[in-house]
Amino acid sequence: MSRQYVIRRLLIAVPSLFGISIILFSVLALAPGDPFSEIAANPAIPPEVAASLRAKFGLDDPVYLRYLHWLAAMIHGDWGFSFASRIDVDRLIMQRLPTTIIVIGAAQLLAILVALPVGVLAGTRPYSIFDQIANTLAFVGFSLPTFFTGLLLILLFSVKLDWLPIVYSTDLSSTGWQWLWDEVKQSIMPVLVLGLFQGASLVRYVRSAVLDVVRLDYITTARSKGIGERAVISRHVVRTALIPVVTLVALQMPAVFGGAIVTEQIFRVPGIGSLLISAMLSNDTPVIMAVTFVLSCLVVLFNLIADILYGWLDPRISYR
């Protein structure tokens, strides 16, 4: 895959970032009222901090200057001060970000591990019993809102069976293998909820991609080489069907973050999703802006990763 291709995609990502930041900032600027009224009202905030916040967000300057100030601040990582948590916003976010990424990552992994084989099997045996069951389960899966599934799982595993803890705790007192086991036990439900939801829609996409590929000429060619049906499927069908699927997984990331916000709320996982919610409930504007900005950056990042993966998987693209 050519270096030019990667650089080109990077260059395209930058304006996207600008675009998103402009949209976010416009939303903030258009908002009526003073989102920083809390600052003035809150006696716990020292006046210097309040003043610097106002300066940073340039609340007294014309719009474009405010945008540039804000953008510069965002890029420098100077995200302000959270009045609810009383620490710098960037520290706060850095504390919580890893948890979110781990949960989302594990969920996506679970989704892929389940959806790939099921989807391939369903696609290679369309309209069979397996396919029909898989399809129905997939529909059920992505029609169940994550908060409902989460609640149901809590009801079943925590309340009725008491196998898993309800509350996620960041400082587990155990060590070693016990720590790992405790960690798994408390993460399993949020990961399961997110992962199965994602997996459900992924199954249908994999199946559809497989159905598209399996009828193509080069698959018949592959069969005519006498390599066996299993090799035809794994080496040829899956490999080429993977291309649209991979891009889809990366492009679905925005939605996954939404799902993560909900799961973190239900299971009280201390990630940036629940941070966003609590910030909204306590009118902690700098945190809200920063979290939204971080989430948008992550989205652009994943779009970039999707582009690069696509170029890596499909040689026709990157050699142009």
Interface pick for other proteins out of 39, 261, 269, 290 (rule CB under 8 A): 261
Pair of tokens at residue 201:
């829609």
Task: Tell me if 246 contacts other proteins by CB under 8 A.
Answer: no
Q: Can you tell me the distance from the alpha carbon of 136 to that of 141, in angstroms, rounded to the nearest whole number?
A: 8
CA neighbor of 124 nearest in space, from 29, 212, 224, 218? 212
The contacts found for 5-13 with CB under 8 angstroms, 24 or more apart, are 5/308, 5/311, 5/317, 5/318, 6/308, 6/311, 9/304, 9/307, 9/308, 9/311, 10/304, 12/307, 13/300, 13/301, 13/303, 13/304
Q: Does 126 help bind other proteins (rule: CB under 8 A)?
A: yes
Does position 216 interact with other proteins (CB under 8 A)? The reply is yes
Residues 59-78 that bind other proteins (CB under 8 A): none
Q: Do 172 and 183 meet the contact criterion of CB atoms below 8 Å apart? A: yes
Q: Is 310 in the site for other proteins (CB under 8 A)?
A: no
Is-contact 206 119, C-beta < 8 A?
yes
Residue 145 within binding range of other proteins, rule CB under 8 A = yes
CB of 212 to other proteins, least distance (A): 9
Among 47-55, 60-68, 83-91, 209-217, the segment contacting other proteins (CB under 8 A):
209-217
**Which residue's CB is nearer to other proteins, number 88 or number 314?**
314
Q: Does 163 interact with other proteins (rule: CB under 8 A)?
A: no
Using CA atoms of 153, 269, 169, 85 in order, give the dihedral in degrees to the nearest 10. Answer: -150
Which range of residues in 75-83, 114-122, 139-147, 179-187 is near other proteins by CB under 8 A?
Answer: 139-147
Q: Is residue 27 a contact point for other proteins (CB under 8 A)?
A: yes
From 16-24, 42-50, 60-68, 92-100, give the range in contact with other proteins by CB under 8 A. Answer: 16-24
Q: Are residues 113 and 105 in contact, defined by beta-carbon separation less than 8 angstroms? A: no
**315 touches other proteins by CB under 8 A:** yes
The reply on whether position 227 binds other proteins by CB under 8 A is: yes
Q: Give the residue with the Cβ less far from other proteins, 186 or 296.
A: 296
In this complex, which beta carbon is closest to other proteins, that of residue 130 or of residue 147?
Answer: 147
Nearest-angstrom CA–CA distance, 308 and 10: 9
Quick check: helix, strand or coil at residue 88? strand
Q: By CB under 8 A, tell whether 53 contacts other proteins.
A: no
Measured from the CB of residue 229, what is the shortest distance to other proteins in angstroms? Answer: 7
The residues near 169 (Cβ < 8 Å, ≥ 6 apart) are 186
Q: Is 184 a binder of other proteins (CB under 8 A)?
A: no
